[in-house]
Amino acid sequence: MPIENLQNYLSLLEQHDQLARIKAPADPILEIAAITDRVCKQPGGGRALLFEHPSGSSFAVATNLFGSLKRVCLALGIDHPGRLHDRLGELLDRIPEIDFPNLDRQLAGLPEFSRFAAVDTKEADPELISAAQPDLTRFPFLQSWPRDGSSSGHGRYITLPQVFTSSPEGSNPNCGLYRAQIRGPRELAIQWKTGSGAARQAAEFLSRGEKMPVAIVLGGDPAMLFSAMLPLPGNLDETAFAGFLRGEALRTATCGTVPLRVPAGAEVVIEGYVEAGDTVTEGPFGNHTGSYSPATPAALMRVSAIRHRPDAIVPATVVGPPPMEDCWMAVAWERLLLAFLQKLLPELADIHFPFEWVFHQSAIISLENPRPGMVREMAEKLWRLPWFASARMLVFVDATCKPLELRRAAWQCINLLEYRHDLIHDAATGRTALDATGCRSPRNRTETDQDIARLVGRRWREYGLA
């Protein structure tokens, strides 16, 4: 059965001993983030955390919700991330010939996908109550790092906001995961990602001189959060893709003050408008690099309404040097991306985003039967795709290299690369690809004799090493 809301998901985590309840008061200013960061660094990602009594708020905070492989699988109703690759691969197999520029339309036109389009209830979510006076400061939004928001003195952020927008005509609904800075009771600064669906739609509203309706959703089915996080092709509807991930269409409810529909089951819904061209300076913001991204202009959203569950729980994430929660969430994208890539580039056997590289679109990629010159061809094809347009480094290995991991790839780079030929550098962008397949000068690889391996396995206990 799909997960309907965050509170159901927390109950599921508790059943699997994946949730720690923290009853002691904890401050949303720096303290909760410091606790979360320490837990994220534990082997396997630690447990999810429910802070029941954040200082200064009557609402609880949940962090590290998806910070382990087990929790990612529980969130998406699968037993292994490979199931995502298999399901999407089967769907893509129904497209006779992939046309990447129109892949979003090709997918949306499949009956096997369109049946997951969201079902509009045509009414407001009955689980939510409307605040008489919208006040963002009532909620325990986090400040993660000491200099966050220091350019304007506003350090608190919504870090897991599902931001819903649409085109001026109300078509092309879009949902993305963009950080939002709290700037007072009724103002937010939203940092659209350049080239994102929301940024493109904001440009349309700006060209018309019209204000842009925005709805920010916290909580709900985790599948929607994952769908919002993923860089899906083109204008593919994130709510429909969330339905595909969960195996059942989402139900959507109407907003009260903006002409948008959002998934039912949310903890909090924040509604408002961005006036055409209305920006403020947002940042700096501590990120995965271990430093602060600089303060930059961001869209200013003025809040028109806030609706929430009476016992709302605010989901939050902490961004910092890996390993962190978002690294584990990226495992889901890695498996889905593999399905897309194998339809476009059949020679590609597997892909892996090392935690240390994942946020730079950098990857270890294995190829079937590599030949001299093949890596250069593959790198150039990948760099033309939006998913790898700014990839700092791509390392290519032979498909016999399993599992794909940073340590093994580093070993092959040192031992198999001929740097005069196998280091491929794109001077215009600074992108680099490394051919660590060893195909240019094949070597006789050392391998354990299989008969001896079986013998040693049988006698392992006898050696006294078991």
Tell me: the pLDDT tens digits for 211-222? 999 999 999 999
What's the mean pLDDT in 269-290? 95
Residue 443 pLDDT: 72
Strand partners, 348: 367
Contact between residue 266 and residue 7 where contact means Cβ atoms under 8 Å apart: no
**pLDDT, tens only, 62-102:** 999 999 999 999 999 999 999 999 999 999 999 999 999 99
- pLDDT higher at 420 or 254: 254
Sorting pLDDT into bands at 50, 70 and 90, what band is 448?
confident
Query: What is the pTM for the complete model shown?
Result: 0.94
Query: What percent of the chain clears pLDDT 70, i.e. is strictly above it?
Result: 100
Decide if pLDDT at 304 tops 80.
yes
Residue 381 pLDDT: 96
Handedness of CA 196, 197, 199, 204 (dihedral sign): positive
Tokens linked to 424: 């491929």
Q: Dihedrals φ, ψ of 365, to 5°?
A: -125, 130
Which residue, chain included where needed, has tokens 């569950």? Answer: 309
Q: Please enumerate in sequence order all residues whose Cβ is within 8 A of that of 162, keeping only pairs 6 or more positions apart, or say none.
A: 175, 176, 177, 216, 217, 218, 220, 224, 225, 228, 262, 263
Q: Is 133 helix (H, G, I), strand (E, B) or coil?
A: coil
What's the mean pLDDT in 342-367? 94
Q: Sheet with 393-398: list strands edge to edge.
A: 348-352, 363-367, 393-398, 431-435, 423-426
Domain ranges for the chain: 6-315, 345-435
What is d(CA 71, CA 81) in angstroms, rounded to the nearest whole number?
11
Sorting pLDDT into bands at 50, 70 and 90, what band is 417?
confident
Q: Is 71 helix (H, G, I), strand (E, B) or coil?
A: helix
* CATH class of segment(s) 6-315: mainly beta
What is d(CA 74, CA 246) in angstroms, rounded to the nearest whole number?
11
Q: Do domains 6-315 and 345-435 have the same CATH topology?
A: no
Contact between residue 260 and residue 280 where contact means Cβ atoms under 8 Å apart: no
CA 9 to chain centroid: 18
Decide if pLDDT at 445 tops 80.
no
Contact between residue 329 and residue 359 where contact means Cβ atoms under 8 Å apart: no
Decide if pLDDT at 294 tops 90.
yes
Residue 2 pLDDT: 87
Q: Which helix (H) or strand (E) holds 176?
A: strand 174-177
* CATH code at 345-435: 3.40.1670.10
Decide if pLDDT at 442 tops 80.
no
Burial 121-133 (b: 16+ CB within 10 A, else e): eeeebebbeebee
Sorting pLDDT into bands at 50, 70 and 90, what band is 427?
confident
Outline where 109-146 has alpha helix (H): 111-114
**pLDDT, tens only, 126-140:** 999 998 899 999 999
Q: Before 54, cis peptide (omega within 30)? A: no
Look up residue 143 and give its DSSP letter: B
Residue 360 pLDDT: 82
Find the helix packing angle between 69-76 and 325-344, rounded to 10°.
60
